[in-house]
Amino acid sequence: MTGMSARWRPAVLSLGTALVVLAAASACAKSEDGDTPTAGGAPASAGAQVVQSAAPGVPTCTLEQFGGTKVDLKTAKIGFSQSEKEANPFRIAETQSIKDEAAKLGITNLTTANANSQFNKQISDVEQMIDSGVQLLIIAPLNSDGWDSVFAKATAKKIPIVTIDRKINASSCTDYLTFIGSNFEEQGKRAADKMAAALGNKGSVAILLGAPGNNVTTLRTKGFKDQIAKIAPDVKIVFEQTGQFSREEGQKVSEQLLQSNPDINGIYAENDEMALGAIVALKGAGKKAGDVKIVTIDGTKGAVQAIVDGWASAVVESNPRFGPLAFQTATKFFNGEPITEDIIIRDREYDESNAKTDLNSAY
């Protein structure tokens, strides 16, 4: 990359589009003061999401098009469905972000549910919220497919659905309102750039795949493979297996990897939890920091610290602080403003050049 700091490379680059920084503080912030620490210890401004303005002609949706009714968020009944238990730092930060922003805005009727990685439970959770009379749904989907029963119920009652961090395969402005999240394919490409640089464009690489059944795994894999083939054809992918986005599974899969491929040069983990599990496996196998290059995606403090300690080469962030943007989007929608079908945030990167100084920006 030239002419732009690696840590602020946009997730999507479109000619003629500008980058817009949201005038929202970090979702975990307790105050609007930029020097006030968040729950993670970073200044509020350090974790603020940044979005790229939509290119001309991108489909949008208004309240009139959707057919819903204007509501006041402060008094509305709102439901938030989390897909995974709050053991993963990403999920902890994401859920806290929603709760903190709701409290900041004076929203008094927020119902939350956690599916604990059980898709049938998430569907049931959301259907129960609809039956209870929610007027807005914010969903962090476990899977990208299988939401038909939810759409049928929500559409009948004209309840807008905002999806965050994972996309649902459906029709915007009909089944759901908008998706807010990262460009996952671009994240994979950026991880490939970092891996190729770490390996000097040559070597063998393993992929710790995320959980199957969602677009995050599919696109992070595609982006990485396509980019490696393009820029570093002498980097060979010799192993790939799902670690279910879990630290424990990441460790188990990496232990299997090291038995079958003891001379592996690099590991691309599709989230930080699997990367941290891989580091445990590497230590158990007698490897030293830097023997195997690790590139991962998320931006948790543990992973960024691993760069400082020499165990990881780079981390591409996936910012979980969705609260301000989710509620700002809902407010605009209920005020009659057009909402684009995708609201793409851009994510920073961490490597040895900034990991130590920017550690407090991680979550």
- Is the residue at 360 inside a domain? no
Q: Which of 27, 5, 181 is nearest to 101 (CA)?
A: 27
Residue 354 lies in a domain: no
Cβ(240)–Cβ(209) below 8 Å: yes
Domain co-membership, 251 together with 302: yes
Phi/psi of residue 71, each to 5°?
A: -130, 160
Indicate if 176 and 188 belong to the same structural domain.
Answer: no
Q: Which two tokens stand for residue 50?
A: 């940044």
pLDDT per residue as tens digits for the range 248-270: 999 999 999 999 999 999 999 99
pLDDT of residue 38: 34
Q: Is residue 356 part of a domain?
A: no
Task: Judge if 199 and 126 occupy the same domain.
Answer: no
Q: What is the pTM of this model?
A: 0.85
Per the structure, the complete domain to which residue 295 belongs is given by 184-317
Listed as ranges, residues in the chain with pLDDT below 70 are 1-46, 53-55
Residues 15 and 140 in one domain: yes
- In this predicted model, what pLDDT tens digit does every residue of 307-359 receive, in sequence order? 999 999 999 999 999 999 999 999 999 999 999 999 999 899 999 999 999 99
- How many domains does the chain divide into? 2
Q: Is 83 found in the same domain as 16?
A: yes
Task: Decide if 358 is inside a domain.
Answer: no
The pLDDT of residue 87: 87
Instruction: State whether 93 and 25 are in the same domain.
Output: yes
Residue 362 counted as domain residue = no
Residue 17 within a domain: yes
Question: SS3 letters for the chain?
Answer: CCCCCHHHCCCCCCCCCCEEECCCCCCCECCCCCCCEECCCCEHHHHCCEEECCCCCCCEECHHHHCCCCCCCCCCCEEEEECCCCCCHHHHHHHHHHHHHHHHHCCCCEEEEECCCCHHHHHHHHHHHHHHCCCEEEECCCCCCCCHHHHHHHHHCCCCEEEECCCCCCCECCCECEEEEECHHHHHHHHHHHHHHHHCCCEEEEEEECCCCCHHHHHHHHHHHHHHHHHCCCEEEEEEEECCCCHHHHHHHHHHHHHHCCCCCEEEECCHHHHHHHHHHHHHCCCCCCCCEEEEEECCHHHHHHHHCCCCCEEEECCCCCHHHHHHHHHHHHCCCCEECEEEEECCEEECCCCCCCHHHCC
Query: Both 132 and 215 in a single domain?
Result: no
With respect to residue 361, please indicate whether it lies within any of the assigned structural domains.
Answer: no
Q: Are residues 97 and 113 in the same domain?
A: yes
Same-domain pairing of 262 and 168: no
Q: In this structure, are 339 and 305 located in the same domain?
A: no
Q: What is the CATH number of the domain that holds 130?
A: 3.40.50.2300
118 and 192 co-located in one domain? no
For residue 149, tell me if it sits in a domain: yes
Are both 174 and 99 inside the same structural domain?
Answer: yes
